[in-house]
Amino acid sequence: MVSKTVSESDFNPAIAAWSGPLGLPDFASIEDRDFEAAFAAALPAHLAEIEAIANNPEEPTLENTIVAMETAGELLTRASSIFWNLSGANTNDTVQALERKLSPELSRHRSAIMMNRALFGRIDTFYQKRESLGLDAEADRVLELTWKSFVRSGAKLDETDQTRLAAINERLATLGTAFSQNVLADERDYALVLETNEDLAGLPDFVVSSMNAAAEERGHTGKYAVTLSRSIIEPFLTFSERRDLRETAFNAWVARGEGPGERDNRPLVAEMVKLRAEKAALLGYDSFAHFKLDDTMAKTPENVRSLLETVWEKARDRAGGEADELSKLIAAEGKNHKVAPWDWRHYAEKARAARYEFNEAEVKPYLQLEKMIEAAFHTAGKLFGLSFREHENLRSYHADVRVFEVLDASGKRIAIFLGDYFARPSKRSGAWMSDFQEQHKLAGDRNDESQIPIILNVMNFAKAPPGKPVLITMDDARTLFHEFGHALHGILSDVTYPSISGTSVARDFVELPSQLYEHWLTVPEVLQRFAVHHKTGEAIPQSLLDKMRAAEKFNKGFANVEFTSSALVDMAFHALNPEQAANIDPMVFQADVLAAIDMPETIVMRHATPHFGHVFSGDGYSASYYSYMWSGVLDADAFQAFKEAGDSFDPALAEKLRHYIYSSGGSMDPEDAYVGFRGELPSPDALLEKEGFPVSR
């Protein structure tokens, strides 16, 4: 319920009272211009609630302090959930202008709360006597996390340092928003428009169709556009026989974030690295990496580097052998150029086809987007007893968005799932999971109702021409399963407190449910049932599956060099102390790090610094890009449990998986959660074996 201190006449009530079908916002009644008034009402209302908690004359208790904080600011929560989902998935000039205005305002708002001495005094008083309170395990965990969050946000600093920290946070929020908007602008504005059959040499029909649809969307009737969406640029780089066009498109792709003037992200990165180092020092840490890793499974930068360097050495050696193989293919074609980064995908596909008699174009006719969505749903049904009921013609924030009810085994609605699958200029690139509403059990006026989650998956697949099926690559299908794994983490959440709901877990644990879910894509029952030819309806042939599995570990040197180099650069930026970070040139620094690790000239980072959104569009994955690899160790070992059971859908294991991994949110320490499922923590050997690298026994 919205605070009684707020008059709904001050803003559009549709933002606060979600009266749409299935409990969704009534998007048709909300306009972009409405959000400014909603935030103008929500921010002071939330602060008033916080002041009431902080100044409560009664002795602090779980109810009047922790629960009161957890349930405060509902209008702000609702306005934020709608607005920030739109800013990523369906933005425009109005939304972006407000985003630039709101980012520093929200940072100031958070600082005002987290540095409220009276409020922290109540929390600290309560925390110091926690052992005698008789709290249940979940309440004790929330109390601990709340106290630590305040300390990590500067609650114990003196007034001067608090003022400086608040200023740093505000500036970082502004810089992160600018960084993200610059990358989106570069992606939105670029299109390599092609016209002739010669321009399309080597491209399979599915790539041509996607490029045609992208050109039509941009007003180039009858032409073909290479955009910077991965669903177009990567297959173009893979199949195009036009080396000159591959080079042109590749150079545009890797230059995102290096636009002229205000679009240049390089000075933004330099300032962010400097401010993050200063922030960490204020809070008593050696570096920003030490600060970020303090509450993760990895704990220290040294542990992260140990894992990354173990994989790096093996990946670089493997990539060297892969490059030699590609050079031989180039020579066999009568060409004398070296392997360049814009050549790698093209010749790697030819090498795979030659070695395994398998190529991406051969499998893609069997990978219909609609069937892969069904496959993800089917897997959730087999593992967790879920079913999905689509509501067609139900309006969401964009016509492309699909809405599903999620039902448990008894037929009870437990969540709403929204799928936003197609690329468009108003959407940032990549793929992600978000939510409009998180699960918790403090929803009612008397804190006695459960709130079901409203979960969103956003992707950027290329649309097919009207009347034709959308065909995706195997990598696209993995992305779909990956993001749906995140979605299930939100859908299956079963906790009491909002702050630990769903994906509110340690950064290097949050990728476990998503990466683990990818494994079920290639379970024979799933592929043979849902990978069916879009024309004949025939299941993917066993012979093709055999070739695909034989090629699974092909090109793993390249893939791991791309990723690990990015993670090492991320760690290097954030391991700097304030003096070291004071006046860096980001591109010189990146080049020095890559030279130190002997980066192959034939491969580039998966995310070069000026468009490394994971790390610089906010600080979500800053000093934490490694977490995909850390979770990779966990997911490889976790799926091994099902292999050992001899059943990919073993009911007993699935129940443990649901309880400890998908439903527990942040209610457990991540190590305890993993051990609860598997019995012990894994070694990196599980990941090395999955990637096909040698393991030292």
What is the model's pLDDT at position 445?
55
Q: Measured between alpha carbons, how far is 493 from 515 in angstroms, rounded to an integer? A: 17
For residues 133, 493, 423 and 86, what is the CA-based torsion angle, rounded to 10 degrees? Answer: -50
* The pLDDT of residue 4 is above 70: no
The answer to the question of residue 72 being in a domain is yes
Q: Which of 101, 128, 155 is the last residue before a domain boundary? A: 155
Q: Where are the beta strands (DSSP E) in 111-217?
A: 192-194
Same domain, yes or no: 390 and 519: yes
The answer to the question of residue 469 being in a domain is yes
pLDDT band at 332 (very low <50, low <70, confident <90, very high): very high
Which of 419, 434, 605 is CA-nearest to residue 510?
434
- Are 98 and 83 spatial neighbours (Cβ–Cβ below 8 Å)? yes
Which of 391, 388, 392 is CA-nearest to residue 408?
388
State pLDDT tens for residues 614-664: 999 998 899 999 999 999 999 999 999 999 999 999 999 999 999 999 999
Pairing of strands 413-422, 454-461: parallel
Q: Which of 155, 180, 198 is the last residue before a domain boundary? A: 155
Which of 516, 527, 508, 523 is CA-nearest to residue 489?
516
Same domain, yes or no: 522 and 606: no
What is the model's pLDDT at position 99?
97
- Give the tokens for residue 560: 């791991």
* The pLDDT of residue 336 is above 60: yes
Same domain, yes or no: 490 and 562: no
- Summary mean pLDDT of the chain: 95
Residue whose structure tokens are 């360049």: 340
What is the model's pLDDT at position 9?
63
The answer to the question of residue 66 being in a domain is yes
State pLDDT tens for residues 191-232: 999 999 999 999 999 899 999 999 999 999 999 999 999 889
pLDDT band at 443 (very low <50, low <70, confident <90, very high): confident
Same domain, yes or no: 145 and 23: yes
Compute the Cα dihedral for 146, 152, 153, 159 and give only its sign.
Answer: positive
β-bridge partners, 389: 405
Which of 456, 348, 472 is CA-nearest to residue 397?
456
The answer to the question of residue 673 being in a domain is yes
What's the predicted TM-score (pTM) here?
0.94
Domain housing 235: 190-255
CA atoms within 13 A on the CB side of 425: 15
Same domain, yes or no: 372 and 509: yes
Q: Which of 483, 511, 518, 562 is catalytic?
A: 483
DSSP SS3 for 454: strand
The answer to the question of residue 138 being in a domain is yes
Same domain, yes or no: 658 and 627: yes
Give the CATH number for residue 33: 1.10.1370.40
Number of domains in the chain: 4
pLDDT band at 260 (very low <50, low <70, confident <90, very high): confident
β-bridge partners, 404: 390, 417
What is the model's pLDDT at position 1?
43
Using CB atoms within 10 Å of the CB of residue 256, give its burial: 0 to 12 exposed, 13 to 18 middle, 19+ buried.
buried
Which H or E run includes 415?
Answer: strand 413-422
Same domain, yes or no: 476 and 562: no
Same domain, yes or no: 147 and 12: yes
- Give the tokens for residue 203: 């491209």
State pLDDT tens for residues 478-522: 999 999 999 999 999 999 999 999 999 999 999 999 999 999 999
Same domain, yes or no: 345 and 374: no
DSSP SS3 for 291: helix
Q: For residues 357-383, give the mean pLDDT.
A: 94
Compute the Cα dihedral for 160, 164, 166, 167 and give only its sign.
Answer: positive
What is the model's pLDDT at position 7?
56
Q: What separation, in Å, do the N-terminal and C-terminal C-alpha atoms of the chain show?
A: 58
DSSP SS3 for 459: strand
Which of 371, 374, 172 is CA-nearest to residue 268?
172
* The pLDDT of residue 549 is above 60: yes
Same domain, yes or no: 467 and 419: yes
The answer to the question of residue 183 being in a domain is no
- Are 604 and 254 spatial neighbours (Cβ–Cβ below 8 Å)? yes
Is 483 an annotated catalytic residue? yes
Same domain, yes or no: 561 and 643: yes
Which of 191, 236, 234 is CA-nearest to residue 216?
191
- Are 667 and 137 spatial neighbours (Cβ–Cβ below 8 Å)? yes
The answer to the question of residue 628 being in a domain is yes
73: left (phi over 0), alpha (psi -120 to 50) or beta: left
Q: Which of 155, 179, 208 is the last residue before a domain boundary? A: 155
CA atoms within 13 A on the CB side of 314: 19
The answer to the question of residue 1 being in a domain is no
Give the CATH number for residue 611: 1.10.1370.10
Same domain, yes or no: 377 and 296: no
Q: Measured between alpha carbons, how far is 177 from 98 in angstroms, rounded to an integer? A: 11
Q: Measured between alpha carbons, how far is 375 from 520 in angstroms, rounded to an integer? A: 9
